[in-house]
Amino acid sequence: MNTTTDGATKDTRVDISVVIPSYNHARYIVQAIESVISQSCSNWEIILIDDGSTDNTREILDQKYKDNPKIHLFYQSNHGAHQAINRGIALANGRYISILNSDDVYHPDRLQTLLEHSNPDTSTLLFTPVTPVNSDGADILDSNHPWCQLYARLMNLYQQRGAREALITGNFAVTTSNFFISAELLKKSGGFRKKKFNHDWDFMSRILRQGLTIQCVGQRSLLSYRIHDRNTISQNTLLARIELKQILKDSIPKDDLFIRKLFLQMQINMRSIRLEHQAQVFKRFQAQNELVAQINSQELALTRILNSRSYKLARQLSSCFNWFKKIQNLFK
């Protein structure tokens, strides 16, 4: 039976609980859910927490999935992705938790592959390579794309120097959609903290500080990560970096040499991002100025036409022609 309250009965027979935090992704939500339904393994459930969507997400979900016994829909006012994920984890019945953001897509063998590599007695967060896709779902294959270049760099660092060193530069797992972890371990770790942009990075950092491991499974992409202008972090990269700096400053021991290095690197990244942000603002103003200049130019050209002798003569001729037609009509 589909569940809509927090009083869900635990079902230990479920292998994987897919937790989907949803917010204003009516365009993508069906594709995300269908990617779970199409998995090669079948012993899963979906715990979907809609975090106060203001589009027609709820209408779509109720119409298509309300009566599906494996899909449990929950609706709440907006509290943020971290809280939606934590609520989903608390409601989960599965031995393992796999997170899927409402605009991303699982590849068909993802859950089976991760399940085969998992061990409930091992303190490990599993992830896989990802494929970036655009807003229409088409793969971004250009290796010169800025995102692809950064991702390649992060994965090289992870493979060569390990998770701790790679995390200094950035989130090599990319997204919470790429997290697969035992439910018991996830709950013991304290879940996700209240971070608007970096709850995934914050969680990975805490996992490593607790002496746990982060492991990539295979070389094949098993997740499509959607890049579009409504990605939370894309909406304000500057604030994302400020939040990340605050995470380091407030919550990490100062005597940890790894964190010292991490903090120094983030200071460098902050300067880089600040310059990038300033450049973006300048480009916007430049574009606006160019548009204003273009409008002014067109208005000036129009004024010149209106004041030209040829235009005035044409108006006089047109006026005479209209009077002539009126007089002609009087004699008909």
**What is the average per-residue pLDDT within 196-217?**
87
- pLDDT above 90: residue 22: yes
Residue 234 pLDDT greater than 60, yes or no: no
Who has greater pLDDT, 230 or 219?
A: 219
Minimum mean pLDDT range among 183-197, 207-221, 289-303: 289-303
Query: Poorest-confidence range of 57-71, 96-110, 135-149, 211-225?
Result: 135-149
Looking at per-residue pLDDT, the higher value among 229 and 207 belongs to: 207
pLDDT-based confidence at residue 238 (cuts at 50, 70, 90): low
Q: What is the pLDDT of residue 3?
A: 47
Task: Find the mean pLDDT for residues 69-94.
Answer: 95
> What value does the CA radius of gyration of the chain take, rounded to a whole number of Å?
28
Residue 27 has pLDDT above 90, yes or no: yes
Contact residues for 281 (Cβ-Cβ < 8 A; gap 6+): none
The residue behind tokens 């934590």 is: 86
Of 93-102, 152-161, 286-295, least confident by mean pLDDT is 286-295
Computed over every residue of the chain, the mean pLDDT equals 82
Which residues fall within 8 angstroms of residue 184, CB to CB, at 6 or more apart? 120
Contact in structure between 95 and 24 (CB atoms under 8 Å): no
Q: Give residue 285's pLDDT.
A: 57
The yes-or-no verdict on residue 35 having pLDDT over 90 is yes
**83-87, 251-255, 309-313, 326-330: least confident range:** 251-255
Q: What is the pLDDT of residue 39?
A: 97
10 pLDDT exceeds 60?
Answer: no
pLDDT band at 12 (very low <50, low <70, confident <90, very high): low
Residue type at position 264:
L
Tens of pLDDT, residues 159-198: 999 998 888 778 899 999 999 999 988 888 888 988 777 8
Residue 272's pLDDT is 53
Report which of residues 31 and 290 the model is more confident about.
31
Q: Is 163 left (phi over 0), alpha (psi -120 to 50) or beta?
A: alpha
Cβ atoms 244, 125 nearer than 8 A: no
Alpha-helical segments (H) within the chain = 29-37, 57-65, 81-91, 110-117, 146-161, 163-169, 183-188, 199-209, 237-251, 257-307, 309-330
**What mean pLDDT do residues 205-234 have?**
84
225 vs 285: which has the higher pLDDT: 225
Distances, alpha carbon 79 to alpha carbons 37, 53, 86, 87, 104, in Å? 27, 11, 11, 11, 20
Q: Are residues 50 and 74 in contact, defined by beta-carbon separation less than 8 angstroms?
A: yes
Contact 244, 150 (CB under 8 A): no
Alpha-carbon distance of 54 to 196, in angstroms, equals 18
